[in-house]
Structures are given as C-alpha cells and as structure tokens.
Amino acid sequence: MNVIAASALLRANADDEPPFQGEGEMRRLCRGFDWDASALGSVRQWSPTLRALIDVMLAMPNPAMLVWGPEFVQVYNDAYRDIMGATHPAGLGLGGQASSPDTWHTAAPLYARVLTGETVYIVDAAIPIMREGLLDDAWFTVAYVPVRDHEGIVAGALVSMHETTDRVFADRENLRICAALDRMNAAAAVAADVQPRVLVRRAADQLLIESERARVDAVAARTFAEAAWESAEKARADAEAANLAKGRFLTVMSHELRTPLNAIGGYADLIELGIRGPVTPVMLEDLRRIQLSKQHLLGLINDVLDYAKLETGTLDYRFGDIAVWVALSAAEALISPIAQSKGIQLEVHGADEGLTVHADHDKLCQILVNLLSNAVKFTAHGGQVRFSVAPTAHLVLFHVRDSGIGIAPDALEQIFAPFVQVRTDRARLQEGTGLGLSISRELARGMGGDITVQSAPREGSTFTLTLPRRLA
Ligand code: ADP
C-alpha cells in the first residue's frame, strides 16, 4: 500500500456523496427538490456525466442553465434566477415547454439545432429581466452549447449567457450623437437663409468643427477603451473556459473510471466470499492482488478528481474543531502496518488531549496520511519515521520527519508543483502521480494553513503542516 491506496481507504465513500454540495439558493433548492417525480428521475440513477455537468453549471458565475433529455428538463444556477423571472422557482426541474409555454415556439427550433451538435449563438438578444423588483431592459449574448451523455450522444444543452446591456447602450449613444450632428447641419442651413449669411455660416462652421472634434475624441476614446476591455474580457473568458473544460474533462473521466473499478472490486468480493464456488489459497492470493491493484488505481483516480476540484474551485470544506490526538491516531492506524511491512520504525509523539485545530477532518487526515506515506515510501528498510506535534500560541505544527533519501535543494519547491516526481540516483521513479503534495498544500492553504519542507540529500526530510489552533 502507498499514499494513494491509504488515502483511498479514507475516501472510499466519496463517490456516494450527494450532489449539489455547497452554498447558494439553487444548490439548496436542488438538494430539497423531488427529482424522483421529475423527468430526470432519481438522482441515484443519474449518469456521472449529468452530475458533473450540473456541478459545473451551478458553479458558473454568469447566468447558465442545463437542459437535459427529450423534454429539455431545466436546471439553472443562481445568476439565471433573474432570467427566469416569475417562472423561478417553479421552472426548476420542469421541461422547457411546461415551464414557458408562451415562448416555447421560439426556444424549440433553437434546441432542435443544438441537438444536431451545432453550437448556436444569439448576439444581443433583448431579454427584459427583474432587477430590484422592477422589469428592466437588458441585452444578452446567449450560447447554446450541445452536451453529450456518456455514450457520446447529444443529450441536452448548456445555455450560457453574457450580458451586453452596457455595450448596446454605448452603441445607441453613438447613433444619438451622429443624429444630433445631422440635425445641427440642417438647422445651420435653414438659419443661413434667414440670418446675415456670413455670421451664421461662421458660427455654424465653428460649432460643427468643435462638436465634430468632440465627437471624434469621444468615439476614439470609447472605441479604444472598448477594444481594450473586450480583449481583456476575451482573454479572461478564454482562460476561464479552458479551465472549466479541463476541470470538466477530468471530473467526468474520473467518475467514468471509478464505476467499472467498483464493479471489479465487487465481483472479486463475490468470488472471495465463495459465492461462485470453492476458492483455493492460490486463488485467494490472486484476489488479494486484484483488490490491491483496484485500491491503488482508485487512489490515483481520486487524486486526479481532487486536483480537478481544486483547479475549478469546486472543493468544499466542512470545518469543525478537531482534537489533534484523534487525527494523529487515525493517521497512525493507517500507516503503521505499511511501516512495519517495510521494517521502518514509526515513532508517534502524542498530543495533549485538549489540543484542537479548526479544520476539515477528512482533509486533515488526507494530508497527514500523504505526508506519512511519503516518509515511509522514501525511506529504506531499517530507517525511522517520527511524527510529532508542536503547538504555538495560535498554530499547531505537525512534523513528519524521516531518515530517508532526502531532497536536493533545487527540488524543494518543485515537489509541490502538480505532477512532479524527483528522480534520484538511488531511487527508481516511485509509484504515484506527483499530485499528493500539491493537493496537500492546496488543502492546507484552503484551511488557513500551509506545508513547508526542510531536507538535504541522504539526510532525510521534515515536512511540517501548519494549521490554525482553536483556543479553548
Ligand atoms: P507522489 O508521491 O505521488 O510521487 P507527491 O506530490 O506526494 O507525489 O511527491 C512528489 C515528489 O516529492 C515525490 O515523487 C518525491 O520525489 C518527493 N518527495 C515527497 N516526499 C518525500 C520524502 N519524504 N522524502 C523524499 N522525497 C520526497
């Protein structure tokens, strides 16, 4: 067993976590919604793809809605509530036609195009919305993006909206200035007929030159500012879209990989229990290896999933006050068999019973198990690993010290970067993804703490996790 297999044990049930975890009215409404009675059916039957898409949609900052299945069942995010107007919250979980029978004739042909795999854009659609209790003019550019189910068939659409009201108003302002100038020209021409010609001509010309200059300046400044804003906005949107797509891909892949893996474990269990017939000792040994490999692969997948959640900012923390000795014992219980099997002496220095940290219990254990597994992994037979705790006035420091191969000075920061594994002349590239430390550090930072390291080649390493102390 290694870091990943051990942390997989801690998170064996993460897959069964109910969806819609986190803050916000729509997540709350989705949690309380009777999906069994909707066309989408029971949440437990939803494909991982649908779950992941809804997760991503709910996390989007701009108004977004996922429509799914032959009835175009709607699930939308907090920002989309204004768009729904009076149909919120009744429209949640309803088919498109049932939710908005009056406007369905305009939406239906759009969705028909999306179902063929086409992404449909509508630029500057006028969609009045409720703002502070009043109906307000607003314009949006809307993208209808086809989304596919796990079999690759278009099963719905992600509707994503970007408000363009400000630009539409700016365009109108430009038109208004041009029209005013035209009127001024016409007025000057009329005046010239009834007033002394030269004076009026001069005054009108001067006025025209000045207003033309002001107009050109204003338009140039606006065009420049708009171009700058648009390119910054586009760069930001591109980066966001790329990040979302990456996170979505990793999440969907991780879910898709875990399902068959759980089946492998389940069938191996059935055989091991003798349900399929008598099992010989050789077969039992093979089954044990199947289970170990399954745990290992599950650990790798869980790491990739955690990393994807960190990248897309969709990881939730459940903070509580945790007795340090409890976390210490949980991590020790998981690591001591591994240390024993490698002939490594594991020394754990207990903490005061009253010592408490403010953290997420599972994530704290995940970090400790990762640091301890690394210590055991990178220490040779006969070495030592020492696990101790040192409180300060406001912090608790967890030290994991090993007498292992150590780390070269130039690699000390690199090891916290994702997918980095350091090759040394003594150690072949070890099993793992190179994600453990990067995930652990992000988790520690997410809980108001950090992870640091002190090490020298062949002199062992000390990793220190710092967390805020909860004072009694
Ligand atoms: P993984 O263990 O999956 O490779 P980590 O992010 O946990 O990924 O570790 C990254 C790299 O940091 C490891 O591959 C190893 O080179 C180095 N490392 C981590 N912990 C130790 C340690 N206790 N002693 C020596 N090297 C370590």
| Tens digits of residue pLDDT in 236-272 | 888 888 877 877 787 788 778 888 888 999 999 999 9
DSSP three-state, residue 157: strand
First to last CA, the chain: 37
Report strand pairing: 345-348 vs 154-163: unpaired
**Position 196 confidence tier, pLDDT thresholds 50, 70, 90:** low
| Residue 110: exposure state from Cβ atoms within 10 A (0-12, 13-18, ≥19) | middle
- What is the Cβ-side half-sphere exposure of residue 439, based on CA atoms within 13 angstroms? 29
Distance 373 CA to ligand 1 centre (A): 9
387 lines ligand 1 (CB under 6 A): no
pLDDT for the residue 207: 66
Q: How far is the CA of 431 from the centre of ligand 1 (A)?
A: 10
Q: Give the count of beta carbons closer than 10 Å to the beta carbon of residue 171.
A: 14
Question: Which atom of ligand 1 is found nearest the CA of 432?
Answer: 3
Answer whether 415 contacts ligand 1 (Cβ < 6 A): yes
Separation of alpha carbons 14 and 50, rounded Å:
17
For position 183, what pLDDT does the model report? 65
CA of 434 to the centre of ligand 1 (A): 7
Q: Identify the top-confidence range among 43-52, 429-438, 447-456.
A: 447-456
Q: Under a CB-based contact definition with an 8 Å cutoff, are residues 100 and 91 in contact?
A: yes
- 5-26: average pLDDT: 61
User: Ligand 1 within 6 A of 302 CB?
Assistant: no
* pLDDT value, residue 400: 98
Residue 211 has pLDDT above 50, yes or no: yes
Output the CA 239–ligand 1 centroid distance in Å. 30
**pLDDT class of 457 with cuts at 50, 70, 90:** very high
Percent of the chain with pLDDT over 90: 43
- Distance separating alpha carbons of residues 96 and 74, to the nearest angstrom: 7
Q: How confident is the model at residue 359 (pLDDT cuts 50, 70, 90)?
A: very high
Indicate the SS3 state at residue 143.
strand
Q: Evaluate if residue 192 carries a pLDDT over 60.
A: no
Residue 3 has pLDDT above 50, yes or no: no
pTM, full prediction: 0.51
Asked whether 383 lines ligand 1 (CB < 6 A), one says no
Q: How far is the CA of 415 from the centre of ligand 1 (A)?
A: 6
DSSP at 95: B
Q: What is the pLDDT of residues 391-400, one digit of tens each?
A: 998 999 999 9
Q: Is 371 in the pocket of ligand 1 (CB under 6 A)?
A: no
Judge if the beta carbon of residue 344 lies within 6 A of ligand 1: no
Contact 364, 327 (CB under 8 A): yes
Ligand 1 nearest atom to the CA of residue 406, by list position = 25
- Residue 162 pLDDT > 80, yes or no? yes
Q: Residue 93 to residues 29, 81, 108, 337: CA-CA distances in angstroms? A: 10, 13, 17, 49
| CA 403 to centroid of ligand 1, rounded, Å | 14
How many angstroms separate the alpha carbon of residue 406 from the centre of ligand 1? 10
Tell me what pLDDT residue 2 has.
39
Say how many Å lie between the CA of residue 339 and the centre of ligand 1.
16
The mean pLDDT of the chain is: 84
pLDDT: is 179 or 413 the higher one? Answer: 413
Please give the helix or strand (H or E) that residue 293 lies within, else none.
helix 281-311
- Of 12, 7, 11, nearest in space to 432 by CA: 7
**Gyration radius of the chain's alpha carbons:** 31
Answer yes or no: is the C-beta of 306 below 6 A from any ligand 1 atom: no
Query: Sorting pLDDT into bands at 50, 70 and 90, what band is 9?
Result: very low
Report whether residue 457 contacts ligand 1, using a CB cutoff of 6 Å: no
Determine whether the shortest distance from the Cβ of 404 to ligand 1 is under 6 A: yes
Q: Peptide bond before 89: cis, by omega within 30 degrees of 0?
A: yes
Query: pLDDT tens-digit profile of 112-139?
Result: 888 988 888 888 888 888 777 777 888 8
Distance 371 CA to ligand 1 centre (A): 9
**What is the SS3 assignment for 38-54?**
CCCCCHHHCCHHHHHHH
- The angle that helices 165-194 and 197-272 make with each other, rounded to 10 degrees, is 170
Window from 64-78, 179-193, 235-249 with minimum mean pLDDT: 179-193
Run of H or E residues at 144: strand 139-148
Residue 368 alpha carbon to ligand 1 centre in Å: 14
What's residue 426's pLDDT? 46
User: Per-residue pLDDT tens for 407-445?
Assistant: 999 999 899 988 877 765 444 445 677 899 999 999 999
Ligand 1 atom closest to residue 463's alpha carbon, by position in its atom list: 23
C-alpha span between 249 and 49 (Å, rounded): 10
Mutate to test the pocket of ligand 1, among 415, 425, 451 (most ligand atoms within 8 A of CB): 415
414 lines ligand 1 (CB under 6 A): no
